[in-house]
Amino acid sequence: MAATRLWIAAAHDPAHRNGGWAFVRAGAGGETLGRAGGDRRTTRARMALAGLLAALEDLPPGEALAVVAPRPDALVLHTLLKPPAEPPAADADLRAALAKALGATTPATRTWTLAVGDPAGPTPAAFAAAWADLASDKAKAGGAFVHSIPRPNLAKVQGL
């Protein structure tokens, strides 16, 4: 069974404390989906976790995932893949929801891999990073939101 591919990125403006996230998901059946969101008074780690949770919302339990994220976000997500001896206390609500979505608390454990992606080239990782930056700016102006990325924009993503 082929894994669903997921590119995720987060952005954060420490001066204004707003942040954004975005993901592009390519299913094994060829369907492509993307969403972006953001919030005020947040952290980059929280945005990375919120983005992953949003990406998992409508996936069937147990479906395998291949996740690619920029290094700062991959370091946050790695704590879900291989939990440290002392779990991070921050963002406990998102971490609990992700543990459930990833199957860590149920018998149908989801298998997933995590890789560091370089958002510098014309790749789905760069596309997600650009949308995360845009989402961060939008959250600064208007507060919390989640929107789908338009299909015509997703059709232009190189490397899917």
**Residue 54 has which token pair?**
């949003």
pLDDT(127) > 90: yes
State residue 105's pLDDT score: 55
User: pTM here?
Assistant: 0.91
Cα 84 to Cα 100: distance, rounded to the nearest angstrom: 17
| Average confidence (pLDDT) over 118-146 | 92
- Residue at token pair 């991959």: 74
For 36-69, write each residue's pLDDT tens digit: 999 999 999 999 999 999 999 988 877 889 999 9
- Residue at token pair 């299909």: 151
Report if residue 62 sits inside a domain.
Answer: yes
State residue 115's pLDDT score: 93
- Quickly state the pLDDT bin for 104 (edges 50, 70, 90): low
Report if residue 160 sits inside a domain.
Answer: no
- Quickly state the pLDDT bin for 83 (edges 50, 70, 90): confident
- Quickly state the pLDDT bin for 1 (edges 50, 70, 90): low
DSSP string, the chain: -PPEEEEEEEEEETTTTEEEEEEEEE-TTS-EEEEEEEESS--HHHHHHHHHHHHHTTSPTT--EEEEE-HHHHHHHHHHHS--SS---TTHHHHHHHHHHTTTTSSSPPPEEEEE--TTSSSHHHHHHHHHHHHHHHHHHH-SEEEEPPHHHHHT-TT-
Nearest CA to 82 out of 57, 126, 113 is that of: 113
- Quickly state the pLDDT bin for 29 (edges 50, 70, 90): confident
Count: domains in the chain: 1
Report if residue 117 sits inside a domain.
Answer: yes
Q: Whole domain around residue 19: which residue ranges?
A: 4-155
CATH number of 85's domain = 3.30.420.10
Report if residue 51 sits inside a domain.
Answer: yes
